[in-house]
Chains A and B, each alone.
Chain A
Amino acid sequence: MRAGPADVERGLREIVGAAHLIAGEAAAPFAVEGRAPRWVAGPGSIEEVARCLALAAEARLAVAPTGRGARLHWGNPPRTLDLVLSLRRLDRILAHEPADLTMSVEAGVTLDAVNAFLRPQRQLLPLDPPRPGDSTVGGIVATAASGPYRARYGTIRDLLLGVTVVQADGRVVKGGGRVVKNVTGYDMPKLYVGALGTLGVVVAAHLRLHPAPVVEETWLHGFPGLEAALDAGLAVMDAPLVPSRIELLDRGALAAAGQASPPEAGLAVTVGSVPEAVRAQGERVAALCRQSGGAALPVAAPEEWWRGVSELTWPPEARSLVLRIGSRQADVVKALRGVEAIVGEALRRTTAEVANGVLHVLAAAGDESARLARIRDGLAPLGATCVVEHAPPDVKLFLDPWGDVGPALDLMRRLKGELDPRGILNPGRFVGGI
């Protein structure tokens, strides 16, 4: 017999303690995409997470795992929601092996906390998605959130050596390991990356770190057009340079980043190395930009500037639409032009990671379901993907934020069925309504 709501509540309170359980009306502010949970539980240990999930499985509760909620607006609204499982109390750094360049953390540790810890030891977890202060390691794994550093360092996929996961039935399993090279068994950590918490709840992660570069510098060049800026970006990629970031900004993005009288397009390149090598590469970048008609623009405080750039397309206002488009590197401007042709005046600003073919487009919200279909049709010949990162809730109800993932969806559904047979983890939120 299934437990009734009173039993569930009593059970959750026993597990996490009264101080860490919110129930009824008080849980309303924790709504996920407009759907309020009945309970919000804040387990304080991996074991408590496991017990909460075992209870949820038993009672068939729909569970939404969350860190600090930075990306809780990604994906479909949940089909149903009973329990928000907050991992923010799991915020311990478990181990750091400086000589191995590895560390183990609980899932609720934020990216900023990790890097603040590592900075004095001249190491870093080289990820730069928006909102690092609210982005937990677990959340980054679940969303595969990345930023322009991807050009050099890859994404969490490349840095995640191992995971501890609480499965949908409450059992604790691990995948991968703690060493930097490992092919023992299936590479299970890959499955949880970008899975939006639908296959299991990542509660701890083993991470590969990188040495912090001795010096890092950023150069920004303005261009008369997007195509010219992309040409320069591709030329930088084709040269034997080691850029950490290659970001293209349109006029709207340059203006929002504080550029007075901005040109049509900008290209920002970061290089990190020893001072000599940084200077030499900076000269090459400048020369390649000049060849495409670029002119240097000032960047005062690069680290703050980059943080600002990463938030240019973060949903600043309710009535906006943010698209994340994946294209081949040389197609980023083609993809942008295609969106521009449909969105027109509503297009506010765009940033594009040239080295990885990732665009973020911010537009004023409109009639999304019609516009989105036309945008996706336009991108299809490029093989490009289009994910809606943000849309007003009333609009979002009528669109598919993920788009068609193709015939592999069948395998994805089967995987979900195997790892979460009762469908309790984030039901309906992922691709194809998984």
Chain B
Amino acid sequence: MDRRFVDALREIVGLDGVIAAADDCLVYECDMLVYFKGAPDVVVLPRSTEEVAAVVGRCVDAGIPIIPRGAGTGIIGGAMAPRGGVMIGVNRMDRVLEVSLPNRYAVVEPGVINLALTRAVEARGYFFAPDPASQVASSIGGNAATNAGGPHALKYGSVVNHVLGLEIVTGSGEVVWLGGPVQERPGYDLAGVVVGSEGTLAIITKVVVRLMRAAEAVKTALATFASIEQASGAVSAIIAEGITPAALEAMDEPVIRAVEAGLKAGYPADAKAVLLIELDGPPAEVEAQAETVARLCRARGALTLRVARDERERADLWRGRKGAAGAFGRIGHNYVLQDAVVPRSRLPEIMAQVQAIAASHGLVVANVFHAGDGNLHPCIFYDERVPGQFESALAATEAMLDACIAVGGALTGEHGVGLDKAPKLALLFTPEDLAAMQAVRRVFDPRGLMNPDKVFPSPGRHVKPGPVGAHKPVPEGMWV
């Protein structure tokens, strides 16, 4: 990269805000999807919207790709630079600018960590509802860019349902506010489409988020089953009954064993499947729903049903769920993780198919997922030292995706498209559907410099997944 260009970036963000040494840029060569790699030529760490706009302006003038990055906890090959360019990390923009509880909103910079916002308001009885399992590390800007989900998305919705407004820097370098604290406003809902656009339209520089009032009562229970299909049947029955739990999570046997071996969350190690069921709301409602849920679980063959008696037991049950992916290292050497969605009434049949597909490839699959909204995360294990296993794992995970789409599902429920699934978008959308999306892109990013190669397939630029490289343990902080 041209030296004068890098110097110009230093003038904008200061000497300590530019990382230009090739070795140092390697840290940014991937997100948590480690088999797609591409280091940026330079990383800049601005402290303000003005600095972001100035950096984008420079890149636009020079025709250099711009790759926004939050905490880098994504698992789609999103915050990485397959064709180099300037990565803009928003980590130093981490202030909570305003909190208004009577008006139920907060204005935050994009680098604010998800959980930090809830921590800032929970003493007053409020919370930020989206809770991706990465919430201890992921940034709200990244959450908004990917329209992140999480266990509680079942009742409270994904990030898009909690974003009231955005300040953005477009791919032309313009700073624009879309929406804001006032909910009722005329005009196109541009914030609604920027959320989830994975940095291909703009960089988010401020977020106005909705804050929710915490429920008065919470009840968390763990039900065990003899098979994941049975557990899935219970999930479908609960939803069909008209109960929307705050969260309804499923884990199968390999996950349970790994979690117990590592985290000792108190899951029965002999169970073939567990459901983690959380109900929240007014106490009498939670009580009534808990009885119904217990009845439905038993009718669907639950072996045991245990309700957390206090906050510590509740935290334990959740610790197992949120740490599940981190325990994957105990199951296998390497893995590929899928994120797909099916109509929730189709869960039992799709879980049977997932098992069958893994078996037909001779691979182990572990499932830990947001069952209540039909959002699967089958995780297929392989050993990259065994020739052909990596390819086999990829083939299995694609077959699972195809199965989900065949029953009316979607390509991704909460992780996003990124580089990983860009070539597969055509499975769900026609060229005309995609052309409409591209039209939107031209509005915000006329030169196509924002996070290129992500979301949409780039003809002739299909990046092939490579092996992980030297043996790496599964990253400790891996979340799904």
Tell whether B338 is near chain A: CB-to-CB under 8 Å. Answer: no
A277 and B216 alpha carbons, distance in the complex (Å): 12
**A385 and B428 in contact (CB under 8 A), knowing A329-B104, A405-B187?**
no
CB-CB under 8 A from B160, the residues of chain A are 187, 190
Tell whether B301 is near chain A: CB-to-CB under 8 Å. Answer: no
CB distance from A387 to the nearest CB of B (A): 5
Contact flags (1/0) for A253-288 with B, using CB distance below 8 Å?
000000000000000000001101101110000000
Tell whether A317 is near chain B: CB-to-CB under 8 Å. Answer: no
**A184 and B373 in contact (CB under 8 A), knowing A240-B125, A330-B103?**
no
Q: Which B residue sits closest to A272, measured CB to CB?
A: B285
A167 and B434 alpha carbons, distance in the complex (Å): 13
Partner of B282, one of A97, A185, A281, A329: A281
CB distance from B442 to the nearest CB of A (A): 6
Q: Are A385's CB and B184's CB within 8 A?
A: yes
Q: Are B239's CB and A100's CB within 8 A?
A: yes
Tell whether A27 is near chain B: CB-to-CB under 8 Å. Answer: no
Q: Are A328's CB and B147's CB within 8 A?
A: no
A102 and B343 alpha carbons, distance in the complex (Å): 9
CB-CB under 8 A from A329, the residues of chain B are 102-104
Tell whether B38 is near chain A: CB-to-CB under 8 Å. Answer: no
CB-CB under 8 A from A367, the residues of chain B are none
Tell whether B360 is near chain A: CB-to-CB under 8 Å. Answer: no
Contact flags (1/0) for A72-116 with B, using CB distance below 8 Å?
000000000000000000000000011111100000000000000
Q: Which A residue sits closest to B240, measured CB to CB?
A: A99
CB-CB under 8 A from B377, the residues of chain A are none
CB-CB under 8 A from A212, the residues of chain B are 242
Partner of B189, one of A157, A172, A385: A157
- Chain A residues 396 to 411 lying within 8 A of chain B, measured CB to CB, are 402-403, 405-411
CB-CB under 8 A from A157, the residues of chain B are 189, 192
Q: Are A183's CB and B239's CB within 8 A?
A: no
Tell whether A419 is near chain B: CB-to-CB under 8 Å. Answer: yes
CB-CB under 8 A from B430, the residues of chain A are 173-174
Partner of A274, one of B161, B215, B288, B429: B288
A302 and B287 alpha carbons, distance in the complex (Å): 27
The segment out of B42-50, B85-93, B408-416, B463-471 that lies at the interface is B408-416
Contact flags (1/0) for A185-216 with B, using CB distance below 8 Å?
11110110111000100000000001110000
A38 and B160 alpha carbons, distance in the complex (Å): 41
Q: Are A277's CB and B157's CB within 8 A?
A: no
Tell whether B149 is near chain A: CB-to-CB under 8 Å. Answer: yes
Tell whether A2 is near chain B: CB-to-CB under 8 Å. Answer: no
Give the number of residues in B that approach A within 8 Å (Cβ atoms).
91
Contact flags (1/0) for A222-241 with B, using CB distance below 8 Å?
00000000000010011111
A102 and B452 alpha carbons, distance in the complex (Å): 35
Partner of A241, one of B282, B414, B441: B282
Q: Which A residue sits closest to B436, measured CB to CB?
A: A173
Tell whether B234 is near chain A: CB-to-CB under 8 Å. Answer: no
A431 and B186 alpha carbons, distance in the complex (Å): 7
**A415 and B177 in contact (CB under 8 A), knowing A179-B341, A179-B408, A193-B192?**
no
Q: Are A154's CB and B161's CB within 8 A?
A: yes
**A183 and B184 in contact (CB under 8 A), knowing A99-B240, A190-B192, A276-B288?**
no
Tell whether B182 is near chain A: CB-to-CB under 8 Å. Answer: yes
Tell whether A45 is near chain B: CB-to-CB under 8 Å. Answer: no
Q: Which A residue sits closest to B153, measured CB to CB?
A: A181
A188 and B192 alpha carbons, distance in the complex (Å): 9
The segment out of B7-15, B26-34, B54-62, B193-201 that lies at the interface is B193-201
- Chain B residues 406 to 439 lying within 8 A of chain A, measured CB to CB, are 408-417, 421, 425, 428-430, 432-437, 439
Q: Are B183's CB and A358's CB within 8 A?
A: yes
**A178 and B343 in contact (CB under 8 A), knowing A277-B284, A411-B170?**
yes
CB-CB under 8 A from B412, the residues of chain A are 182-184
Q: Are B433's CB and A175's CB within 8 A?
A: yes
CB-CB under 8 A from B283, the residues of chain A are 277, 280
Q: Are A186's CB and B440's CB within 8 A?
A: yes
Q: Which A residue sits closest to B440, measured CB to CB?
A: A186
A281 and B170 alpha carbons, distance in the complex (Å): 46
Contact flags (1/0) for B366-385 with A, using CB distance below 8 Å?
00001001110000000000
**A183 and B455 in contact (CB under 8 A), knowing A191-B189, A277-B283?**
no
CB distance from A348 to the nearest CB of B (A): 21
Tell me which of A123, A195, A242, A279 has the highest count of chain B C-beta atoms within 10 A of its own C-beta: A242
CB distance from A43 to the nearest CB of B (A): 19
Tell whether B304 is near chain A: CB-to-CB under 8 Å. Answer: no
Tell whether A13 is near chain B: CB-to-CB under 8 Å. Answer: no
Q: Are B437's CB and A100's CB within 8 A?
A: no
CB-CB under 8 A from A211, the residues of chain B are 241-244
Tell me which of B185, B192, B411 has the highest count of chain A C-beta atoms within 10 A of its own C-beta: B185
Partner of B182, one of A101, A199, A326, A407: A326
Tell whether A384 is near chain B: CB-to-CB under 8 Å. Answer: yes
A selection of 11 A-B contacts at a CB cut-off of 8 Å is A99-B345, A181-B374, A184-B412, A187-B147, A191-B188, A194-B187, A241-B282, A329-B102, A383-B181, A411-B444, A412-B190
Return the 4 tightest CB-CB contacts between A and B, nearest first: A326-B184, A190-B192, A211-B242, A276-B284
